[in-house]
């Protein structure tokens, strides 16, 4: 990882459904904490990092599309506009249970794209499993542009925030 940390990847089985009335910023932090907690429960030592990312358009949370039709609908709704990307991150010390967490925000603009460009993008698999149906670090980088914030927030792991969480955990500043 760019921050100099090495991780093993463990998939946490967590229901990602928003709770009634839950804001996007609350959702991504809750899910990051739930994912980290689920994996930390399987370990007696080490640090466990959990994360979640959503795209927010006009206050509406755009999660991961189930199929190319849903992906196309999401991308058409983002075309020619700006939207926000939120990444929640949680870090847990598995030995002590200490938990620190935070949120990073970025703004992204999508160009207006032709139906052919959109169809070509959807014909690939890059949109699968991606909040908002795109990966800015991939082919979508041709029509998605960072406006404000950090690119790694959009990619899904805000390195600056991860560093801050490790510092907070090391100083004993935590929240459970």
3-state SS record for 150-173: CHHHHHCCCHHHHHHHHHHHHHCC
Q: Give, rounded to a whole angstrom, the gap between the first and last alpha carbons of the chain.
A: 26
User: Taking phi first (over 0 means left), then psi (-120 to 50 degrees means alpha), and beta for anything else, what does residue 154 get?
Assistant: alpha
Tokens encoding 56 = 């927010």
Active site residue 52: yes
Nearest residue to 149 (alpha-carbon basis) of 93, 98, 84? 84
Cβ–Cβ < 8 Å for 74, 66: no
Catalytic residue among 25, 52, 58, 152: 52
What amino acid positions are annotated as catalytic residues?
52
């Amino acid at each position: 990882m760019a921050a100099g940390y090495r991780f093993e990847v463990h998939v946490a089985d967590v229901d990602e459904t928003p709770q009634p009335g839950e804001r996007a910023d609350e959702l991504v932090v809750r899910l990051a904490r739930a994912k980290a907690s689920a994996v930390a429960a399987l370990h007696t030592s080490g640090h466990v990092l959990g994360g979640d990312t959503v795209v927010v358009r006009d206050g509406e949370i755009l999660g991961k599309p189930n199929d190319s039709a849903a992906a196309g609908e999401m991308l058409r709704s983002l075309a020619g506009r700006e939207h926000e990307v939120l990444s929640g991150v949680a870090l847990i010390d598995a030995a002590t249970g200490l938990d620190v967490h935070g949120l990073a925000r970025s703004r992204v603009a999508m160009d207006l794209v032709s139906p052919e460009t959109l169809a070509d993008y959807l014909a690939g698999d890059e949109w699968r499993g991606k909040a908002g149906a795109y990966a800015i670090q991939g082919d979508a980088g041709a029509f998605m542009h960072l406006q404000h914030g950090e690119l790694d927030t959009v990619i899904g792991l805000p390195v600056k925030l991860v560093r801050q969480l490790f510092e907070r955990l090391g100083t004993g500043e935590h929240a459970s």
